[in-house]
Homo-oligomer: A and B are copies of this chain.
Amino acid sequence: MSSDSRAEAAPRRRPGRPRKDQPDPERFAEILAGAAEVFLARGYDASTIQQVADTVGMLKGSLYHYVRTKEDLLYVILQRTYAAALSEMRRVLEERAGADALELLAAFVETHIRFTIANFAAVSIQFRELRTLSEARRAEITAEGDKYTALLRDLLQRGVEEGTIGADIDLPLASWSILGQLNAMTQWYRNPGRLSIDELVAAFVGMIVSSVVSDRRSAEAGGPASLRASFTPGR
């Protein structure tokens, strides 16, 4: 039993795994942010550990105190980004537990957009570079992404049950479609842009809410355009 435990614990410090004995968590966070910027600007395949070290102003040798490989950097960036996004979204939805599903959907969209802007490089590379991870790591990250999508699908389902979202809506397709249009931001959004972040949030929330609303809930608001105008961001 004890020898089994040791055998399981050993690989944690082996090459190819992120090292758990990190000298400085803040410095590590800076390294990950710098690596995300390098991967976004140059593409993961064309990036080197040396470029990451140069970007964060440290020696390549010192960087190896934190990770063993370039793939470790990508893996930890994606792992942390998904964990932070999930945790933030769960907090926002729990805070609004009394709201109807359309209001929860508005909060979901707003939270997703603000998180994307605040973590732009990390969120952007997730779509472009996920496939370069090893199969086991990609499966782990994909499972986290599925949990996030499930939060959205579950709130849409609740809306269908309470009658605020149309019974005609295909929930898996609506979930992917909503996330697809939000995530496409990583291809065109520049900060600062033509619209303020609040304007961007309001426009996205309006279009997404009216894309799935039920006839009854829309009529209560005065129609889809009036419904779109009723959601004010920045709460």
Cβ contacts A160-203/B at 8 Å (1 or 0 each): 00000011111011101111111111011000001100011001
Q: Which of A16-24, A65-73, A76-84, A215-223 contacts B (4 or more CB under 8 A)?
A: A215-223
Interface membership of A157, Cβ < 8 A: no
Contacts of A173 in B (CB 8 A): 195, 200, 203-204
CA distance A206 to B177 in the complex (A): 12
CA distance A222 to B214 in the complex (A): 11
Q: What distance in Å separates the Cβ of A178 from its nearest Cβ neighbour in chain B?
A: 7
Cβ contacts A122-146/B at 8 Å (1 or 0 each): 0000011001100000000000000
Q: What distance in Å separates the Cβ of A225 from its nearest Cβ neighbour in chain B?
A: 4
Are A207 and B203 closer than 8 Å at their CB atoms? no
Which of B176, B216, B223 is within 8 Å of A219, CB to CB? B223
Interface membership of A234, Cβ < 8 A: no
Interface membership of A111, Cβ < 8 A: no
User: How many copies, total?
Assistant: 2
Contact A215 to B223, CB < 8 A, known contacts A187-B127, A194-B172: yes
Contact A168 to B229, CB < 8 A, known contacts A176-B188, A195-B173: yes
Contact A131 to B43, CB < 8 A, known contacts A181-B181, A210-B213: yes
Which of B170, B181, B224, B228 is within 8 Å of A178, CB to CB? B181
Interface membership of A46, Cβ < 8 A: yes
Q: Which residue of B lies closest to A219 (CB)?
A: B223
Are A179 and B168 closer than 8 Å at their CB atoms? no
Interface membership of A212, Cβ < 8 A: yes
Contact A211 to B207, CB < 8 A, known contacts A184-B176, A195-B173: yes
Of A166, A187, A206, which is in contact with the most chain B CB atoms at under 10 Å from its CB? A166
CA distance A180 to B184 in the complex (A): 5
Are A224 and B210 closer than 8 Å at their CB atoms? yes
Interface membership of A52, Cβ < 8 A: no
Interface membership of A45, Cβ < 8 A: yes
Q: What 4 A-B pairs are tightest by C-beta distance, nearest first?
A: A180-B184, A215-B223, A211-B211, A166-B225
Sampled A-B contacts (19; CB under 8 Å): A43-B45, A43-B131, A43-B132, A127-B187, A167-B225, A168-B225, A170-B195, A170-B199, A170-B203, A178-B181, A180-B182, A181-B184, A207-B211, A210-B211, A210-B224, A211-B211, A218-B223, A218-B225, A224-B224
